[in-house]
């Protein structure tokens, strides 16, 4: 008989299910003692198990009661393993597994024992331990139990060992829905979305968990359009949509910068009265922030009844990313007054908030406070933020000195921040140093080569440009092609640099680009062609610049969106100097607000100005 069979609880023990405090739990315990009910081994075991499962915050209390039980049942010990597998100290699960083994022939681990231990290994991210548990469950004959099999697939996926997932799945003669769903989730999470989708399409039946796993897999690996398309198919098939589904949908909208679809998702949540959990609310906030609508993002934030540190950090990050550095610091001050303890992510947002508005001293103070006030050791990303902070302010020598005094080996992010600052302030010597250090760490990082090439080009040192490009060619490093995404009336359009003739409105876009060019020249625009290939004619350089992907996206926005509607674009690379200057001029000439999210930050263009103030 199963160690977790449905057990009819004593009425007094049933009260544990609804108790909310340790005081109430002690009152129930006292009642059981007064009535002598805990003298019954069956009832005492049942009490321990109920407390462990229903009140995970009272695991220590369960332990103390368990110590008074002479012969705890397998059900009780399995319940403790299960409770600890979900706790902040999952390794303690093995203490109770050892008790089962030490009991001699009295107790023998069953399928539930191993299912919970496998989950413990996933929580611990311990491959060797997981491998040992796998061997133990085979020894005890549970390798064919469907719950254990799905647990193994989940464990190996959590540990990042997809090959082991395949092996477990391959050895299952007739996988059930749970195993198939676990495998879809494993492949999707580990990046093999092709196999995951094939398996998903072949499933004879699919529950909401399988749909959510596949949608989440697409969203996590950057296939956001596929995630949204599958979500629409999910609705068409009448599958119940829950909060988990919508978190993935909002994540996809965030990645694409698809505000219209994000708004639709928000309306869907409200219309279907989905429970606004902290996770869902934070995803909604993140979507609006990453679509450049911070007013709506903060409206969601202030409307959330429950917030955690991730919610606060998300709001802080959104404000920083959109250029509202002072408001970011104001919100952090309120966060600390509310008694919310910041974490590592919080301080990345705070330091970025200081960077975007050039508050160097404030940034350094917050950096120091991480360890002094909050006991948080700065990580590589925090050090990179400080380099960026110094760099934006033009304090390049201090940035280099900071890198040289880091307590760990500087990473590519720190050298990249210095390289970018060197380009902004035309410091070739530091640029060469930073580029060389970046290439030593990541020899296929195309950004290091391109930025150094641009530094040489800005100074018209074309021999240096040529050497960089020859070096890239010799190492097989290719510049990532620029890609810009714009949403028009709920439909997402992608443009790639120099390759947009396949777009159905290409001819109209070409006409608008010509009109943009005409108006720019009347306004005195002169193309910044320095970074473009130096061995082609000047006219061809200008033509190459005008084929940058964001210019096609802007043109589509101008011919498709009504006046007064902001043009929102997401770009996979940093905006180049020429596109930045052009977009500022277009915002004034055409009287349009243009919001561009590049790989680094937001640019809010309006009336010929940009929120980044010329530094990005």
Residue with tokens 């299910």: 17
Reported confidence tier of residue 40, pLDDT bands at 50, 70, 90: low
Which segments of 357-461 does DSSP mark as H helices, in order?
Answer: 360-374, 380-392, 396-404, 412-424, 428-441, 446-458
Q: DSSP per residue over 254-306, as a string?
A: HHHT-HHHHHHHHHHHHHTT----HHHHHHHHHHHHHTT-HHHHHHHHHH-S-
Is residue 565 predicted with pLDDT exceeding 90?
Answer: yes
Residue with tokens 């925090």: 382
Q: How far apart are CA 159 and CA 148, in angstroms?
A: 16
Provide the token pair at 139.
């020894």
Q: How far apart are CA 217 and CA 185, in angstroms?
A: 7
Q: How far apart are CA 395 and CA 360, in angstroms?
A: 10
Nearest-CA neighbor of 292 among 331, 318, 325? 318
Instruction: Report yes or no: 71 and 41 within 8 Å, Cβ to Cβ.
Output: yes
Provide the token pair at 392.
């934006």
Residue with tokens 């990532």: 480
Question: Tens of pLDDT along 263-297?
Answer: 999 999 999 999 999 999 999 999 999 999 999 99
Provide the token pair at 570.
């997401």
Instruction: Report yes or no: 370 and 378 within 8 Å, Cβ to Cβ.
Output: yes
Reported confidence tier of residue 3, pLDDT bands at 50, 70, 90: very low
**Once rounded to an integer, what is the mean pLDDT over residues 180-189?**
89
Instruction: Report yes or no: 52 and 80 within 8 Å, Cβ to Cβ.
Output: yes
Least reliable range by pLDDT among 65-79, 307-321, 566-580, 587-601: 65-79
Q: How far apart are CA 69 and CA 51, in angstroms?
A: 14
Please report the pLDDT score of residue 6 as a whole number.
42
pLDDT above 70 as % of the chain = 89
Q: How far apart are CA 530 and CA 462, in angstroms?
A: 10
Q: Angle formed by the axes of helices 462-475 and 446-458, to 10°?
A: 170
Residue 2 — φ and ψ, nearest 5°?
Answer: -60, 140
Distances (CA, A) of 191 to 221, 233, 249, 281, 491: 6, 22, 18, 26, 26
The gap from C-alpha 60 to its chain's centroid, in whole angstroms, comes to 34
Residues forming beta bridges with residue 494, ordered by sequence position: 485
Reported confidence tier of residue 84, pLDDT bands at 50, 70, 90: confident
Nearest-CA neighbor of 53 among 92, 86, 20, 11? 86
Nearest-CA neighbor of 112 among 206, 4, 17? 4
Please report the pLDDT score of residue 449 as a whole number.
81
Reported confidence tier of residue 70, pLDDT bands at 50, 70, 90: confident
**Once rounded to an integer, what is the mean pLDDT over residues 15-40?**
68
Average pLDDT in the chain: 87
Q: How far apart are CA 567 and CA 296, in angstroms?
A: 17
Residue with tokens 């409105």: 505
Instruction: Report yes or no: 267 and 300 within 8 Å, Cβ to Cβ.
Output: no
Question: Tens of pLDDT along 116-140?
Answer: 999 999 988 888 899 999 999 999 9
Residues forming beta bridges with residue 493, ordered by sequence position: 486
Residue with tokens 């530091």: 430
Residues contacting 589, CB < 8 A, separation 6+ = 519, 520, 523
Question: Tens of pLDDT along 397-450?
Answer: 999 999 999 999 999 999 999 998 998 898 989 988 998 898 888 877 777 788
Q: How far apart are CA 554 and CA 570, in angstroms?
A: 11
Positive or negative, the Cα torsion across 465, 466, 471, 474?
positive
CB count in 10 Å sphere of residue 21? 11
Is residue 536 predicted with pLDDT exceeding 60?
Answer: no
**Once rounded to an integer, what is the mean pLDDT over residues 242-261?**
93
Pairing of strands 491-496, 483-488: antiparallel
Question: Tens of pLDDT along 319-347?
Answer: 999 999 999 999 999 999 999 999 999 99
Reported confidence tier of residue 2, pLDDT bands at 50, 70, 90: very low
Please report the pLDDT score of residue 205 as a whole number.
87
Q: How far apart are CA 573 and CA 576, in angstroms?
A: 9
Least reliable range by pLDDT among 38-42, 348-352, 535-539: 535-539
Please report the pLDDT score of residue 541 as a whole number.
42
Q: pTM of the entire structure?
A: 0.80
Distances (CA, A) of 285 to 41, 272, 303, 311, 489: 51, 19, 10, 8, 21
DSSP 606: E
Provide the token pair at 388.
């960026």
Residues contacting 435, CB < 8 A, separation 6+ = 415, 419, 448, 449, 451, 452
Provide the token pair at 235.
């609705």
Residues contacting 243, CB < 8 A, separation 6+ = 274, 275, 277, 279, 280
Q: Residue 571: enclosing H or E segment and its boundaries?
A: strand 567-571
Reported confidence tier of residue 17, pLDDT bands at 50, 70, 90: low
Distances (CA, A) of 123 to 165, 307, 468, 606: 17, 24, 46, 48
Question: Tens of pLDDT along 157-178?
Answer: 888 899 999 999 998 888 888 8
């Amino acid at each position: 008989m199963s160690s977790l069979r449905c057990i009819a609880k004593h009425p007094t023990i049933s009260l544990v299910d609804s108790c909310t405090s340790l005081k109430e739990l002690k009152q129930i315990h006292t009642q059981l003692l007064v009535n002598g009910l805990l003298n019954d081994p069956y009832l005492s075991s049942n009490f321990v198990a109920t407390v462990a499962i229903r009140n995970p915050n009272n695991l220590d209390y369960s332990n103390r009661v368990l110590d008074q039980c002479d012969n705890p049942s397998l059900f009780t010990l399995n319940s403790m393993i299960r409770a600890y597998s979900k706790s902040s100290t999952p390794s303690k699960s093995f203490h109770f597994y050892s008790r089962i083994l030490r009991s001699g022939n009295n107790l023998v681990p069953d399928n539930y024992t191993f299912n919970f231990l496998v989950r413990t290994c996933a929580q611990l991210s311990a491959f060797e331990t997981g491998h040992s548990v796998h061997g133990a469950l085979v020894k005890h004959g549970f390798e064919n139990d469907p719950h254990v099999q799905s647990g193994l697939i989940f464990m190996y996926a959590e540990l990042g060992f997809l090959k082991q997932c395949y092996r477990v799945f391959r050895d299952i003669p007739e996988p059930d829905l749970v195993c198939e769903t676990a495998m879809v989730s494993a492949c999707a999470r580990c990046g093999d979305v092709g196999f995951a989708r094939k398996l998903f399409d072949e499933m004879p039946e699919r529950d909401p968990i399988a749909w959510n796993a596949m949608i989440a897999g697409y969203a996590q690996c950057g296939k956001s359009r596929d995630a949204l398309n599958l979500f629409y198919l999910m609705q068409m098939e009448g599958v119940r949509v829950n909060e988990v589904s919508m978190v993935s949908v909002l994540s996809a909208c965030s990645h694409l910068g698809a505000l219209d679809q994000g708004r639709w998702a928000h309306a869907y949540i409200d219309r279907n009265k989905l429970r606004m959990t902290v996770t869902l609310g934070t995803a909604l906030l993140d979507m609006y922030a990453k679509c450049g609508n911070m007013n709506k993002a903060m409206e969601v934030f202030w409307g959330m009844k429950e917030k955690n540190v991730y919610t606060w950090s998300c709001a802080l990050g959104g404000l920083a990313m959109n250029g509202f550095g002072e408001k970011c610091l104001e919100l952090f001050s309120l966060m600390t007054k509310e008694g919310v303890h910041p974490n590592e992510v919080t301080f990345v947002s705070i330091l970025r908030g200081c960077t975007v508005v050039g508050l160097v001293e404030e940034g350094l103070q917050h950096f120091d406070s991480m360890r002094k006030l909050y006991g948080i050791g700065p990580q590589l990303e925090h050090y990179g933020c400080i380099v960026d902070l110094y760099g934006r302010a033009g304090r390049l020598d201090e940035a280099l000195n900071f890198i040289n005094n880091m307590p760990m080996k500087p990473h590519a992010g720190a050298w990249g921040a210095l390289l970018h600052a060197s380009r902004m302030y035309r410091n070739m010597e530091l640029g060469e140093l930073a580029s060389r250090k970046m290439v030593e760490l990541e020899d296929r990082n195309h950004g290091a080569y391109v930025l150094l090439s641009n530094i040489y080009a800005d100074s018209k040192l074309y021999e240096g440009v040529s050497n960089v490009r020859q070096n890239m060619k010799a190492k097989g490093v290719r510049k990532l092609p620029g890609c810009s995404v714009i949403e028009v009336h709920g439909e997402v359009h992608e443009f790639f640099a120099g390759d947009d003739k396949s777009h159905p409105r290409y001819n109209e876009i070409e006409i608008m680009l010509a009109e943009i060019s005409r108006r720019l020249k009347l306004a005195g625009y002169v193309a910044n062609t320095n970074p473009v290939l130096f061995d082609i004619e000047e006219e061809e350089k200008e033509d190459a610049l005008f084929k940058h992907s964001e210019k096609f996206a802007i043109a589509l926005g101008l011919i498709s969106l009504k006046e007064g509607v902001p043009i929102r674009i997401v770009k996979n690379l940093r905006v180049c100097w020429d596109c930045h200057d052009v977009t500022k001029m277009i915002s004034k000439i055409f009287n349009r607000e243009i919001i561009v999210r590049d790989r680094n930050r937001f640019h809010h263009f309006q009336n010929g100005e940009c929120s980044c103030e010329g530094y990005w």
